[in-house]
Structure 1
Amino acid sequence: MALPDFFLVGAPKAGTTALHAALVPHPGLYLSKVKEPKYFLCADEPPARPGQQGQRGPGDAHSAREWVWRRGDYEALFADAPAGALLGESTPFYLYDRGAQERLRAAVPDAKLIAVVRDPVDRAYSNWMHLWSDGLEPIGDFVQACRAEDARVADGWAPFWHYRRLGRYGEQLRHLYSLFPREQVLVLRYRQLVDEPQQTLDTVCSFLGVEHGHAVSAPPENVRPFVPATRRNLALAKLVRAGAAAGAYFPPRVWRAASVPLLRALHSRGTARPRLGVDQRREVLAPLVDDIRELEELTGQSFADWLGDEGRGEFRARQRPASA
């Protein structure tokens, strides 16, 4: 059976879910119904067990049980594809993971790769918000959580906790370009997908060599509400983390079902996402400036708008006219 012809390789919280959903209706494409199979993160080797390196963050080991790591199971994701359709899948951690990039090169050297990049501070904030609002992130301050990143990485927390590192697109793309010709890699900006969805989807279709006009809209990202750190919510979050830890030893569907009422309770009293202050943004951005310059050098594009004191925020904020 064939492996995919194209991959949405990154980045997390940068619009890959929206792009995946927009491409699904195209008759010339077939995307796996499992959106993030993560096969090339391990490729025929089972993910680490609970407590091992790479699975030590809250919920990590439970999440790893959902990875499609066996070759036969992975190929089966594309068994129902119509004849002639291009096969694709979306795992946004492939851009970040150097081993995944190398496995892709070895298995599918002719594949086309699409990377969606987003203001790295906005991306990191959205990443933290996702985990905090779902009760998994134990640090209720975004900047403090970023300060804890080095220690978490050293302790073996999974990549989704690598808030700033996931936004180092320059070094990630430089490695990808060492493995794949540039003509096989399409780099998009999150703002293109949100502000110019039709034009951006046409660009993607041209890159893949399929007709325009079938992928016509990119749905809004799934934005979670901000969950205030009340005693009630902190207690619920502790239950979520305990349940996620126990869920590492049961089939994934068991904890997924059990977590629904807890998450509903957490989100029921959610509020609008607070905007980052200037000092907060500057602290998170500072270690990323050199990488943004590298990204500009690699792509020939300007990312000067990422260097300002105010981001563009979540999807709804992107609907306002751009200031840059």
Structure 2
Amino acid sequence: MPFPDFLVIGVPKSGTTALHAALRPHPALYMSPVKEPKYFLTDGPPPTRGGPGDAATYREHVWRREDYEALFADAPAGALCGESTPFYLYDRAAQRRIHAVAPQAKLIAILRDPVERAHSNWTHLWSAGLEPIGDVVRACAEDERRKAAGWAHFWHYVSLGRYGEQLEHLYDLFPREQVLVFRYRELLDDPARTLDRVCGFLGVEQGLLTHIPRENVTAQPEQGRRHQLLSMALRALARAGHHLPEKLGRVPIERIESLLQSQGAPRRPLTWDQRQRLLAHFTADIELLQRVTGEDFGDWLRPRERSGGLVGARPPGQRQARNGRPGPPAIGRNDRNDRPA
């Protein structure tokens, strides 16, 4: 069984879930029923501990080769097989693993304003009750400490957004003609043209896909005693999760997440002061990204004209089922994708 012909490799919170769903109806493509198998993130079993909720995330890795190959067993003859794990671009070892077994694979990366991406990432985990710091600027300052402590990739708010470093490494492994890079705003503003661009890159018929799924966005609960108590309870359950059968641990966690989301408001935009403070983490890398790609990303260094988009989101906590249909809520999935809120 061959490895996939193409992979959506990045980045989290930038519409990879929406792109995966949008490509699925194309008759010449077969998208894995598990959207984020994460196979190339490890050489064997994933870790069992990390940040809040990471134990539940690691249990969902498809890390055995036979299980990974089985994801594509139902592909029609002649269809190109693909999967979407938005951490592959960030993880240098994953890039090398992909190159070792699938050097001809085509790779797709969606880039989002790194400050907006980090804010969306933080909101995702804060709204889920997993993020213990109620200020996005302070939470981003914890990046290196969390990496050193073994917290999973989704907690690396700053490092995930350093695309210049990531693409520079990727282009050392793969020729540029095998890599398609485009902006999240393109997916929002002109989905039909962007999907045609993806199909043209993959060498399949264009004009068949015209829209990106529109779904709910992540709410942002107010800070306060209620959120604090519910979040503390959820993180305690998440820490204990690896000692419990998955189904037994899920029930109270799902109930707490429902309570957290019941009073959530839409994500509040960053102030210019907050944005300036976060931009300090990315300015040098944006300059590197421009050199690596030859494209202008200078707009990322200025105030935003609008807040994040509404495309490709799943309702808070909703799990992507193996049959491709939405499943029950799932807290603790720090990879849980890229609700672009």
TM-score where L is the length of structure 2: 0.88
1:263 maps to 257
Question: Offset of 1:253 from its aligned partner?
Answer: 4.5
Structure 1 partner of 2:292: 298
What CA distance in whole angstroms lies between the structure 2 residues aligned with 1:184 and 1:301? 18
Match of 1:223 in 2: 217
Relative to its length, the structure with more helix (as a share) is 1
Give the stretch that moved more between structures: 89-98 or 247-256. Answer: 247-256
Tell me by how many angstroms 1:316 deviates: 4.2
Structure 2 letter corresponding to 1:162: H
In the alignment, is residue 49 of structure 1 matched against residue 48 of structure 2?
yes
Flag the structure with more relative contact order, 1 or 2, with Cα contacts below 8 A and sequence separation at least 6. Answer: 2
CA distance in 2, matches of 1:103, 1:222: 34
**Paired residue for 1:112?**
106
Count residues in correspondence. 311
For residue 222 of structure 1, report the CA deviation from its aligned partner: 4.7
Of all paired residues, the percent bearing the same amino acid is 58
2:48, 2:55 within 8 Å by CA — same for their partners in 1?
yes
- How far the C-alpha of 1:73 sits from its partner, in A, is 0.5
Secondary structure of residue in 1 paired with 2:265: coil
* Aligned-residue RMSD, C-alpha: 1.5
Letter in 1 for 2:301: L
Correspondence 1:182 to 2:188:
no
Query: What are the within-5 Å matches in structure 2 for residues 15-26 of structure 1?
Result: 15-26=15-26
2:199 maps to which residue?
205
C-alpha separation between the residues in 1 aligned to 2:305 and 2:69?
40
The CA deviation at 1:221 is: 5.8
Deviates more, 1:241-250 or 1:168-177: 241-250
- Measure, in 2, the Cα distance between the counterparts of 1:253 and 1:66: 13
Read off the aligned partner of 2:161 and give its amino acid letter.
G
Please say if residues 5 and 86 of structure 1, whose CA atoms lie closer than 8 Å, have aligned partners that are also in contact. yes
| Consecutive unaligned residues in structure 2, runs of 5 or more | 312-341
> 1:84 aligns to what?
78
Report the equivalent of 2:321. none
**Alignment of structure 1 residues 144-293 onto 2, 5 Å:** 144-220=138-214, 222-293=216-287
- CA change 1:238–1:7 in 2 (3 A) is same
Change in Cα spacing, 1:65 to 1:211, as seen in structure 2 (3 Å) is same
Higher mean alpha-carbon deviation, 305-314 vs 81-90, is at: 305-314
Of 263-272 and 150-159, deviating more is 150-159
Equivalent residue letter for 2:230: L
Q: Who is 2:30 aligned against?
A: 30
Instruction: From the superposition, tell whether residues 194 and 255 of structure 1 become closer, same or farther in structure 2 (CA, over 3 Å).
Output: farther
What code does the residue aligned with 1:120 have? P
Q: Is the 8 A contact 1:47 1:64 kept in 2?
A: yes
Report SS of the residue matched to 2:208.
Answer: coil
CA apart distance, 1:62: 1.6
CA distance in 1, matches of 2:289, 2:246: 38
CA-to-partner distance for each residue in 1:289-312, whole Å, 9 max, x for gaps?
111111111212111110002364
In 2, the alpha carbon distance for the partners of 1:202 and 1:251 equals: 44
After superposition, the C-alpha distances for 1:200-253 in whole angstroms (9 at most, x for unaligned) are 000000000011122221123652111111211211111211121122234545
CA distance in 1, matches of 2:15, 2:216: 10
**Counterparts of 1:90 and 1:245 in 2: how far apart (Å)?**
27
Shift of 1:181: 0.4
Query: Is the Cα–Cα contact under 8 Å of residues 122 and 311 in structure 1 kept in the other structure?
Result: no
Give secondary structure in 2 for the equivalent of 1:175. helix
Paired letter, 1:152: R
Provide the secondary structure at the position in 1 that maps to 2:4: coil
